[in-house]
Amino acid sequence: MSLIWSFVISVVAALIAGRLIAGIQIKSITAAAVVALVLSVAGTFLSKLLMFFLAPLNWITLGILGLVAGVVVNAILVMMMDKKVKGFEVDSFSSSLFYCVVLALVQMVLRWIF
């Protein structure tokens, strides 16, 4: 899948997930694009670093710890983007956490369809 097509799917997924979660407001496509870009880039680098430090515990828990840690890191990033990105608002940490889970599921479905 091309990089641009993958980014478009991420932006559409960010918009859809923002509509599904009550505590998240995305007011423009630009805000959705910034959210998708930051989560993609940060997720790429932070996931490698996180997996390195959590490798022994990740093996013991059969990958569940790594999955949970990844979602929590993304939720923290979403909370930080609330302060920095105009047109993107998050009400609470739980909204951010649910947004990350729904975002991942919507991206998975969109990649499966397209």
Q: What pLDDT sits at residue 23?
A: 94
Question: Residue 47 above 80 pLDDT?
Answer: no
Question: Residue 48 above 70 pLDDT?
Answer: yes
For residue range 66-83, list pLDDT tens digits in order. Answer: 888 888 889 999 999 999
Amino acid at 10: S
Contact 69, 52 (CB under 8 A): no
For residue range 85-98, list pLDDT tens digits in order. Answer: 999 999 999 999 99
What is the rounded CA–CA span in Å between residue 106 and residue 61? 26
Q: What pLDDT sits at residue 49?
A: 85
Q: Tell me, what DSSP letter sits at residue 85?
A: S
Rg (CA), the chain: 14
Q: Tell me, what DSSP letter sits at residue 25?
A: E
Q: What pLDDT sits at residue 56?
A: 86
Contact 19, 103 (CB under 8 A): no
Question: Residue 1 above 70 pLDDT?
Answer: no
Q: What are the residue ranges spanned by the domains of the chain?
A: 3-113
What is the rounded CA–CA span in Å between residue 35 and residue 54? 26
Q: What pLDDT sits at residue 42?
A: 87
Q: What pLDDT sits at residue 51?
A: 76
Task: Quote the tokens at residue 47.
Answer: 């996931």
For residue range 6-43, list pLDDT tens digits in order. Answer: 999 999 999 999 999 999 999 999 999 999 999 999 88
Q: Which residues contact 58 (CB under 8 A, 6 or more apart)?
A: 51, 65, 66
